[in-house]
Amino acid sequence: MANLNRRLDQIIPKIQQDKFIDGRGLGNEISFYVFDYEPAEELVVRDYVKHIKKEFNYEGSNRKIIEFDLYKMMLDIAKERKVFDRIFDMEERQGKQALFKAMTTFAKPDIFLQKIQEQINKYNIVFITGVGKVYPFVRSHNILNNLQEILDKTPVIIFFPGKYDGHSLQLFGKFKDDNYYRAFRLVD
């Protein structure tokens, strides 16, 4: 826990740096960062994300953070598509495989990206959360790979319950996602 707190305390100073917001120092790469952590520390990280947003989202701040919780987004999409009320019944009657298939028909990266693009206008930093809660319906590497098309100049921090070694994402320290080489570890 002490190590997590030390790492969390480094996030705000990083965001305050001009090179963070300008994307400098990354060899002209996109400004995508991963803050990985032990899944058991999820609630501490969630609280700290709220703290970070309060630190920057005030009138006159030159840093405006928007958080996209993938799980909440998925539920909103299900409600918009009028399938939310049928989810539990479907799982009970048809089983988990049928539910998974039904959910993945509308939980596609392009739908999430469209929602992000619609809401990003006055913000200059994006937080992606809810990665563990939305698994296996939405995979973080799919979001990251597609997000670069719409947010190539906006810094993105994905809060990832698992391990990121700079080359691959390992959700919960167990499930290896496809390789993702374009993100940097936010804090070592």
Task: Sketch the domain layout of the chain as residue ranges.
Answer: 2-12+30-185
pLDDT attached to residue 180? 55
pLDDT attached to residue 106? 76
pLDDT attached to residue 2? 78
Of the candidates 183, 174, 106, 172, the one whose C-alpha atom is nearest the C-alpha of residue 141 is: 183
pTM for the whole thing?
0.87
Of the candidates 177, 128, 74, 11, the one whose C-alpha atom is nearest the C-alpha of residue 20 is: 11
Paired tokens of 135: 């698994």
pLDDT attached to residue 38? 94
Q: Which stretch, 48-62, 79-93, 133-147, 165-179, has highest mean pLDDT?
A: 48-62
In the predicted structure, residue 148 carries a pLDDT above the cut 90: no
pLDDT attached to residue 94? 86
pLDDT attached to residue 157? 94
Segment 9-16 shows an average pLDDT of 95
Residues facing residue 129 across a β-bridge: 69
| Beta strand extents in 85-172 (DSSP E only) | 125-129, 156-164, 168-171
Residues 6+ away with beta carbon under 8 Å from 10: 187
pLDDT attached to residue 152? 72
In the predicted structure, residue 104 carries a pLDDT above the cut 80: no
